[in-house]
Structure 1
């Protein structure tokens, strides 16, 4: 049987040779293989934690790495500043020596300037790829325009400039110092309800429907999202779930900076914690980590690779979302 390694692009929309990935998939040897997921770096990157995550992922000797978005602080309205930030991050990915596939995040794509720069540098904002008998659907949950007040955007950009000059500074401290008394205390409070606002497009699901039909023989399918779209009523995402219903699959997202696993329809929906990003919520899922995935017999085995302190590993079992009766995600946190 031919061992497949294909990158699949929606040629009804895109006509470009560019893509949000670095390196080339190795030729599958057939059977078992390993890869890794990395999560959010932004919202005020913890100094050198993302780099530590990349090195931890590389040490796993994976066939490839998947980022689920938010690699740059972003929110720039000036294209030169957006390019400047990508000029600092892209070489880290390109020089890793392991293929890296990117999912677009809100920080990466959150303003008209960021969208133009993404398209100029990376070409497409959703795609799929196949590696042997595993299929990956890489979606864009950021298709609706960002609705941040101009004053808040400028505040975030000022804080980003300070972080560039002083990477060890704390983003939220910079934001509060810059805002002074002009921003009320309640404006800094964050909840899942206000934080999660995914926007997938029907054209993506049309494309994924064709990809799924053409790759009905795979053992497993991964859906890569930035925002955890299953946490808000969304008919577009629900359509994708219906297309996936008869096959084994796993959904992986980020955005909330809190590791939590939802079990739904006999499948796992994994909301990753952070790989260098801002501390948002209190609780056991508030960790810096990457996710090791070992495909064994066509089925994924997950291991949480801890990045703080002495490191170590954990299973996902400790992060399965609890019911309303026993509590879930930690208390709301002052954050951004």
Structure 2
């Protein structure tokens, strides 16, 4: 049997050879292998935590790493500032010595300037890849921007500039100091209803439908999203779920900065916590972590790698959503 490693691009839309990845997939050995997910760095990165997450991922000796999005603070309206921020982050990924595949997040793609810079540097915003008998669908949930007023965008950019000058500052404190009485506190109060606004596109699902048909022999499929699209009524995402219904799959997202697993259709829908990002919600899932994935016999085994304090590991069972579970807004 041929051990496949394929990067799959939507050639009906993209003609560029650029892509949001660093390094090449290694040649599959056949059988078992390991990889890792890293999550959100942004919304006011905790100094050094993302770098700690990268090192923890590298120590796992994975075949590759998948980022679930939001690697830069972003929301720039000046392309030069957007480039400068990517110029600080991209070398961390490129120099890791492990292939890294990126999912686009709202901070990465949240303004017209950020979109232009992404396209210039990384080319495409959705794609797929196959590694041996596992398929990865990397989607873009940011095809329409989150609704942010101009005054709030300017405030975010001012706070970002302060963070660049003083990386150990706290974003929430900076926002509070800069806003004064200009922006009401409730504008920064987070809850899932206001935070989650996934926007996929039909052209992505058309592409994924072709990819799924061409790779019907895989053992497992991972759907990588930035925003947890299953938490809002979304006919486009529901169409993708119907395409997947006859095969084993796992959905992995980020965005909310709170680790939570939803059991749906007999599958796991994993909303990762954060890998250096802003504290948003109180509760057990409010952790900095990465996710180790060991493919054994064609199925995944997950382990939560904790980054705070003494570190350690945990299982996903402790983060499975139950009817009585609640979260408080930050």
What is the TM-score of this pair, normalised by structure 1?
0.97
Query: In the superposition, relative to structure 1, how do residues 325 and 61 fare at CA in structure 2: closer, same or farther (>3 Å)?
Result: closer
- Partner SS, residue 258 of structure 1: coil
The CA distance in 2 between the partners of 1:185 and 1:139, in whole Å, is 33
Give the whole-Å Cα distance in 1 for the aligned partners of 2:209 and 2:325: 37
Contact 1:261 1:271 (8 Å CA) reproduced:
yes
2:217 and 2:160 map into 1 onto residues whose CA distance is 46
Aligned length: 330
Q: Tell me the SS of whatever aligns to 1:152.
A: helix
Task: Show the counterpart of 2:302.
Answer: 302
Gaps of 5+ in 1: 327-332
- Describe the shift of the 1:283–1:325 C-alpha distance in structure 2 as closer, same or farther (beyond 3 A): closer
Equivalent-residue separation in structure 2 for 1:215 and 1:272 (angstroms): 27
Residues in 1 aligned to 2:185 and 2:144: alpha-carbon distance in whole angstroms = 28
Contact kept, 8 Å, 1:189 with 1:334, in 2: the verdict is no
How far is the alpha carbon of 1:147 from its aligned partner? 2.2
Aligned ranges 1:240-255 → 2 under 5 Å: 240-255=240-255
Whether 1:45 and 2:45 are equivalent positions in the alignment is yes
**Offset at 1:182?**
1.1
1:183 Cα deviation from its structure 2 partner? 1.2
8 Å CA contact 2:146–2:197 kept in 1: the answer is no
Q: C-alpha offsets along residues 277-326 of structure 1, whole Å, 9 cap, x if unaligned?
A: 00000000000000000000000000000000000000000000011478
What secondary structure, in the 3-state scheme, does the structure 2 residue paired with 1:209 have? helix
Q: Secondary structure at the match of 1:3?
A: coil
Q: Runs of 4 or more off by more than 3 Å in structure 1?
A: 333-336
CA distance in 1, matches of 2:54, 2:328: 28
Per-residue CA distance 1:147-202 (angstroms, 9 max, x = gap)? 21111100000000000000000001101100001111221211011000000000
* Structure 1 residue 69 displacement after superposition: 0.1
Contact 1:188–1:334 (8 Å) recurs in 2: no
- Contact 2:258-2:274 at 8 Å conserved across structures: yes
Are the equivalent residues in 1 in contact too, given 2:57–2:65 (CA < 8 A)? yes
- Shift of residue 146, structure 1, vs aligned partner: 3.5
CA distance in 1, matches of 2:201, 2:329: 29
Give SS of 1:51's match. Answer: helix
**Equivalent residues of 1:36, 1:65 under 8 A apart:** yes
TM-score (norm 2): 0.98
The runs of 5 or more residues in structure 2 that have no matched partner are none
